[in-house]
């Protein structure tokens, strides 16, 4: 369970301008966390900071940054170096719907940099800071897409598989250091993700509930899949032949790919 004593006083939340990241900030502020809000859209971050200050008296810093750009991890480390950061919510990420060969490969590098490289570099920088002070926590946001190949969003699923394997390993490595690591694997969630990824709009879980599950699992278990249906999906996938799981997944994901029919 997240705690101000163990994981505070400052929390860095990447991707705080929308969706799950905004929810993380909204749930951490009333617990007394001070917040570093990170994303590209500064206006959104400023508005959120003003809201959290008004509602909870939360102290916030805004860092407008493209995490897919070269040196972004160093810039965020530097921007927070004077703060006692105890929690990193490694959440910013983006998707891309479409059959692989129909996709624009000039978009691939930025997605891999954001979903994989930035997650790993920030994990290394901040977990190092936490280990040096003997306490801290990190949430890595992967996806249920991490558990099997995801036709019609093949590269995205691969990036989330990277996040899951990284987070799982770090949770084990950090045992005994005072640093908790949890990898949160949401299924479809109602955020701006689907629109940004070029997907057909479809229903998703409540972002607040997903975030609550993630914060509750910190320090308790290495991986959390929020929601009963998602848990059942992940468990049943372990029992079925992998080729069948991927083929069934394609039938679902094809419906969300506007060019997939």
Residues at the interface with ligand NAP (CB under 6 A): 15-21, 39-41, 44, 66-68, 91-95, 114, 141, 143, 186, 188-189, 191-193, 196, 204
Cα atoms in the 13 Å half-sphere on the side-chain side of 176: 2
Q: Which is nearer to ligand NAP, 33 or 193 (CB)?
A: 193
The alpha carbon torsion through 193, 195, 198, 204 (nearest 10 deg) reads 60
Q: Which is nearer to ligand NAP, 130 or 193 (CB)?
A: 193
Q: Say if residues 144 and 186 touch (Cβ distance below 8 Å).
A: yes
Least separation in angstroms between residue 193's CB and ligand NAP is 3
Catalytic residue, candidates 34, 156, 175, 231:
156
Least separation in angstroms between residue 176's CB and ligand NAP is 28
Least separation in angstroms between residue 143's CB and ligand NAP is 3
Least separation in angstroms between residue 10's CB and ligand NAP is 19
Terminal C-alpha separation, the chain:
43
Q: Smallest Cα–Cα separation from 145: which of 207, 96, 181?
A: 96
Catalytic residue, candidates 34, 160, 175, 231:
160
Q: Which is nearer to ligand NAP, 113 or 129 (CB)?
A: 113
Q: Which is nearer to ligand NAP, 52 or 141 (CB)?
A: 141
* Cα–Cα distance for residue pair 259/257, rounded to 1 Å: 5
| Burial class, 37, CB count within 10 angstroms (exposed 0-12 / middle 13-18 / buried 19+) | buried
Q: Say if residues 194 and 202 touch (Cβ distance below 8 Å).
A: yes
Tokens of 60: 């916030």
Contacts of 221 (CB under 8 A, 6+ apart): 182
Least separation in angstroms between residue 84's CB and ligand NAP is 23
Tokens of 35: 């917040």
Q: Which is nearer to ligand NAP, 93 or 136 (CB)?
A: 93
160 is known as an active-site residue: yes
6 is known as an active-site residue: no
The residues carrying an active-site annotation are: 156, 160
């Amino acid at each position: 369970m997240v705690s101000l004593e163990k994981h505070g006083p400052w929390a860095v939340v990447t991707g705080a301008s929308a969706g799950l990241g905004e929810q993380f900030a909204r749930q951490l502020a009333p617990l007394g966390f001070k917040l570093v809000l990170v994303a590209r859209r500064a206006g959104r971050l400023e508005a959120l900071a003003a809201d959290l200050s008004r509602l909870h008296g939360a102290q916030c810093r805004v860092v407008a940054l493209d995490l897919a750009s070269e040196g972004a991890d160093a810039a965020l480390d530097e921007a927070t170096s004077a703060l006692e950061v105890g929690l990193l919510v490694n959440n910013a990420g983006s998707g891309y719907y479409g059959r692989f060969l129909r996709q624009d490969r000039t978009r691939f590098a930025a997605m891999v940099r954001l979903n994989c490289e930035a997650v790993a570099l920030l994990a290394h920088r901040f977990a190092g800071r936490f280990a040096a002070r003997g306490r801290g926590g990190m949430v890595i946001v992967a996806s249920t897409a991490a558990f099997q190949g995801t036709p019609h969003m093949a590269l995205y699923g691969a990036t989330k598989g990277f996040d899951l394997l990284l987070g799982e390993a770090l949770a084990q490595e950090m045992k005994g250091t005072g640093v908790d690591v949890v990898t949160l694997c949401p299924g479809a969630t109602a955020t701006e993700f689907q629109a940004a990824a070029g997907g057909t709009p479809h229903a998703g879980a409540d972002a607040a509930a997903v975030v609550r599950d993630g914060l509750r699992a910190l320090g308790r278990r290495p991986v959390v899949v929020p929601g009963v249906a998602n848990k059942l999906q992940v468990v049943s996938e372990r029992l079925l032949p992998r080729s069948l799981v991927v083929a069934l997944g394609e039938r679902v994901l094809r419906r969300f790919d506007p060019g997939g029919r």
